[in-house]
Amino acid sequence: PFLLTSKMALSQVNYDESKVPPLHLPSIFISEKGKVINSKEEWESIRKPEIFRLFESEVYGQIPKDLDQVSFEVIERLDHEFNSIAKLEEVDIKIQLGDRSHSMRLNLLLPKETDGPFPIILLINHRDPEEDESLAEEGYWPVAELIERGFATASFHAGTVAPDDTIRYMNGILNNLYPEQKEQSDGLKALGAWGWGAMRAMDYFEQHQAIDSKKSILVGHSRSGKAALWASANDPRWAITYSNESGCGGAALSKRKFGETVEIINTRFTHWFAENFRKYNSAEESLPLDQHMLPALIAPRAVYYASAKADQWADPKGEYLGLQIGSEVFSQIYEKESPFKTTWEELNGPVSSNTLGYHIREGEHNLTWEDWEIFLAFAKKSLGI
């Protein structure tokens, strides 16, 4: 899908299961000092903060939490395509920190029929609807269907916090609010910035009378799915996190080196991950963590993954295994039963409990109505609606 440099010849991209190295994953339950973690208290006070810090320093970089003030300027618009069923709020969220400030745009649609409060679905969007007119048809953000099912739904464009560009990514919150992060090897990068954007959207939902922010769902596809997972690990306000085909650096285990690898992603997308992540280019064995630990950081809140069969670049098996192994924190620490009883090879149709779920569908890399439909059945069950 892109030009590989001579150092990373195409032949190095592995799609052969028999060539996947034996998996030696760092244990979720053994602390850095070698203590075996048995209880919720030990998990939350010892191991969970250790793992969080590892992801922050070695993979994604920090998401700064400091800000002085968040304010909202809302324009209610009537001239939009969903006017017969939904109210549209265009929200400019303004964040101030000392004498610095940044504004980001959020679009929120609320069902018109009743007053709510409505459960809320936020989509982090890195695709441009103006350049990509097929978006609505495919179901990437199926506003009408979500509204008809009684959800409020919102979306912000990734570029409103950090442009998705190797050079221009700083022209957002990095330059405007957190310039000191640019000098740090574990400093904020684009994926973290998009996660930060989701937090500011949540700030708006929390004070909105027509929104039930306790019934909140954060959704991201692919690169935005990576951001959604990291956002939710940083922000306990999300009830459900749905990562669609987020692959390398998201749902999939890096140490399998199947499809996209750490080196490839760090070389093509130098603006996504912390600088420290580059230490693991072609050296996944030395990673002190892997992506099975990311859903563990979100536990006991609900986590859902989806894959597509033709999306081998994102390593569907590595995505399933990551969630399956990570689900041990849900079952062993929080007594939430894991639905992932079957091996990958025996998997046959969507599997879910109230807290965890997974599906794989036919077809290519995309977020489609089919994905939403299967996911929404899980979401309703999980939220009890």
Positions marked active-site: 222, 365
152, 87 in Cβ contact below 8 A?
no
223 touches ligand GTR (CB under 6 A): yes
- Considering the complex, state which of residue 76 and residue 165 has its C-beta at the smaller distance from ligand GTR: 165
**CA–CA separation, 166 and 9 (whole Å):** 22
- Considering the complex, state which of residue 142 and residue 259 has its C-beta at the smaller distance from ligand GTR: 259
Sign for the CA dihedral angle at 81, 86, 88, 93 comes to: negative
Burial bucket for residue 304 (CB in 10 Å: 0-12, 13-18, 19+): buried
- Considering the complex, state which of residue 247 and residue 326 has its C-beta at the smaller distance from ligand GTR: 247
Query: Residue 367, Cβ neighbours under 10 Å: how many?
Result: 28
Binding mask 258-277 for ligand GTR (x = CB under 6 A): --x----x------------
- Considering the complex, state which of residue 224 and residue 338 has its C-beta at the smaller distance from ligand GTR: 224
To ligand GTR, the closest distance from the beta carbon of 131 in angstroms equals: 14
Q: List the interface residues with ligand GTR, window 153-212 (CB under 6 A).
A: none
Phi/psi of residue 110, each to 5°? -120, 140
- Considering the complex, state which of residue 260 and residue 319 has its C-beta at the smaller distance from ligand GTR: 260
To ligand GTR, the closest distance from the beta carbon of 287 in angstroms equals: 17
**Structure letter (DSSP) for residue 85:** T
292, 60 in Cβ contact below 8 A?
no
**CA–CA separation, 341 and 364 (whole Å):** 26
Total binding residues toward ligand GTR, as defined by CB under 6 A: 6
Q: List the interface residues with ligand GTR, window 230-259 (CB under 6 A).
A: 247-248
78, 112 in Cβ contact below 8 A?
no
Q: Distances in Å between the alpha carbon of 137 and those of 44, 62, 225?
A: 43, 36, 20
Indicate the residue whose CB is closest to ligand GTR: 222
b/e per residue 244-254 (b: at least 16 CB within 10 A): bbbbbbbbbbb
- Considering the complex, state which of residue 187 and residue 249 has its C-beta at the smaller distance from ligand GTR: 249
Q: Distances in Å between the alpha carbon of 129 and those of 134, 137, 138, 157, 166?
A: 8, 11, 12, 10, 21
To ligand GTR, the closest distance from the beta carbon of 70 in angstroms equals: 28
Binding site for ligand GTR (CB under 6 A): 222-223, 247-248, 260, 265
